[in-house]
């Protein structure tokens, strides 16, 4: 059975994509820690990060780094946070989000009901920043 993320990747469920390539996609989470919180996900259904081939983990980190750099600029954040949790969906994913303190890493503080317009704005900022950083080929319209 397909995971929730596979259904988003396949277009069966909506997603605010900011990155797509042959191996990896990235889309905004529906419950952000901070505006711009993005999930970096392999297309392949892999349950745990420890089961992923090293080359795929390297690619996930490469994409996460590109997104994190743009998040810092686009959201005026001191750093980009990175968390690999993996309990909420049984499909490997990296949480990448603008962070200004350790409080931004507290998953009990997620926004369970973000405004759709603010989510659309965050996705547009990230797409624009990724294009400006030279990643046009991987940024969906």
Active centre residues (catalytic): 93
Contacts 24+ apart (CB under 8 A), 138-141: 138/19, 138/20, 138/21, 138/63, 139/18, 139/19, 139/20, 140/17, 140/18, 140/19, 140/20
| C-alpha distances in Å from residue 125, one per residue of 47, 85, 94, 118 | 30, 25, 20, 10
């Amino acid at each position: 059975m397909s995971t929730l993320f596979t259904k988003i990747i396949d277009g069966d469920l909506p997603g605010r994509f900011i990155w797509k390539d042959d191996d990896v996609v990235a889309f905004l989470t529906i419950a952000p820690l901070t505006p711009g919180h993005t999930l970096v996900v392999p297309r392949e259904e892999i349950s745990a990060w420890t089961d992923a081939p090293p080359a795929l983990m390297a690619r996930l980190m490469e994409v996460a780094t590109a997104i994190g750099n743009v998040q810092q600029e686009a959201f005026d954040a001191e750093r980009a946070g990175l968390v690999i949790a993996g309990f909420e969906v049984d499909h490997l994913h990296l949480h990448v989000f603008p962070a200004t303190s350790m409080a931004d890493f507290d998953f009990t503080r997620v926004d369970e009901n973000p405004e759709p317009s603010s989510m659309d704005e965050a996705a547009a900022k990230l797409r624009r920043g990724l294009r400006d950083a030279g990643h046009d080929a991987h940024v969906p319209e």
